[in-house]
Structure 1
Amino acid sequence: MFILTILTFSLSFFFPGEHLANISGQINATPEQLELVALEYGKHESVLYQYWYYLNHLFQGNLGVSMNSQLPVADEIMSHLPATIELTLVALFIAMIAGIPIGFIAAIRHRKKTDNLILSFSMIGYSIPVFWLALLAILVFSIQLGWLPSAGQISLVYEIEQVTGILFIDILISDTPYKWQAFNNATTHIILPACVIALAPATIFVRLARTAMLSVLDSHYIKAAMAKGLNTRQIVFRHAIRNAMVNVIRDVGLQFANLVTLAMVTEVIFNWPGIGNWLIQSIYQRDYTAIQGGLLALSSFIFIVHILTDFIYASLNPLARGSKHAS
């Protein structure tokens, strides 16, 4: 996080244009306004003092003002980040529900036609570009079949007050009489972009689950269970799956970072009101304060998910806590 703040602080020196104007977010700022910004951010001091002023603003929740909307960047992030969290969590759930069982099946049918077929399809799925898959999904499921909507988070006929920012929670706590119709409408909107995002991580989960299950099935306690006369079903469901899942969970954090990257492109195509769409639009509009703050917020979010994943992995696997903790 410390290195990330240094990176985002350094970006302000590389952006084209007037340095103080980029920080203030005011395009047509007067010399008096620029002087106030210079005093506020310590621009007459050394670089170390400027970095210290920058950290003080971060701790106060001040990420600057957007050059495009003239709104605080922190408010913009808080209004767009929940939509991205919602989309990526649903995509992660789909990827794990689809990928992990298929990977276990491939490991159980190791070196057979089923295993080769699953590995072939997973390689094809991982190789498909997400932007091409998104456009193809819209063409087939939205335009030709008409099963799912092609854009947006919910239809305009439903007015849901934003409380948490996560639409499904806001719908459930709202007072609208059409609560379940709105919930169903939001579900149909999220299915297509979530499935598009989930395809590549699902194929990775297939390979991770397959490798983890093969490692577990080759362990001594599984061989001992076979020698006792337990059948394949008992060995897999009682002993192998739980231990293989521990190794899969270890890599969930890495796949979540991949999900966020895929979501940024997918949000633009599906017009999803998330931070990825907002950040890419900020790049197009050369909104440098928004780029700086959005990069910091999105990277911090990914870091937090990595840390939480490590804690979950350590809680499930005593061997990951080290020999000092009696493992």
Structure 2
Amino acid sequence: MLRPTIMALLPGLMTALLLAACQPFSPAKIPEAPPEGPEASPTIKIEPPPEPQVPAAQVEAPAKPGMVAIPRLLPESIVGIPEKDLASRRLEYNTMISSRPGEPPHGAAWQYRNTRQGQIVGFEFSNYGGNRILPPRRDAAKNQFFTRDFQFRFDDRARQDVHLLVVDWAASRDKQFRLSELMNSLMHFFPRSYLPAIVNVKNRNLVTLPTGEEVEFDAKTHEILSGVLSEAPVDLNPDRAARKFPGVDYLGKGVLVRANARGTDPRIGTTAIITTGSPPQDCDKGIDCGRCQVPSRELWEQTGAVRFKFSTDLDFDRFLTTRCGFGLPTTGFEFRIASRLQ
């Protein structure tokens, strides 16, 4: 009974199958990837975890390949960045000097200067003689004060007035040591990317300059051993008029501002010499391509705390470009020297 019915349906079934076979192929729709823009679902988009922020005062210089990292445990040993640009314009006497004991038999390693709030704002040390740089020895009991002082200052931990003062003490013809005959040299290093720091490494003290460049001193005698500073012996000429200023020279790639004075502040009423370790490549002026002289009144305030007039490196770079024909060295878009600290 069913056979005639099935036979009657076969032509329609065959027609349906043929029509289906003739339809164009339509692949299955693949789900689209979730959007990655701001409209993405928070349940799908995964944010990377934020990197920990290292405090500026604890920035540590990475060691060169093959070198052992230097532990910097003392506050004046930490390589940090300036905490602000401007230093106070008031002349304040609110700092104290303390000694940092060294390893025997070296005695005091250096002295550090701190405020009543406990901020380190400088450190200093002295070569007291008995070595190549200063043959005679200091002997206060005999009124023999032969010395070469190195004083690093960064008042208020600000960028504005970071400097190094080098002072040579020598006797006059009558064997007396007078403050009016001290040979003073004041130096500013640029760019001012860091606050100066000092750390002891066995028999040497490693000093980091504001540029990030380094200088090694003998931990016992405080002679310069290597780095971007070099020194000549203290001039012991008894004739104060013929005596030379400290023979400490900068060999780095940054810019140095230096002023000298005998027995007075080098920043007042003098002429400063500005030199660069990275002179313009297209300059045809010879030695003048990397050197110019500027009256000190254009660089420092002549009253009060006698601050350096340019609190930012950008302002000083503009002055240099106009006044001297060269500017501060740059790395990318920053005033910076490619160094160990990068």
TM-score for the superposition, normalised by structure 2: 0.20
TM-score using structure 1 length: 0.21
> Structure 1 or 2: larger strand share?
2
Larger radius of gyration: 2
RCO higher in structure (CA 8 A, sep ≥6): 1
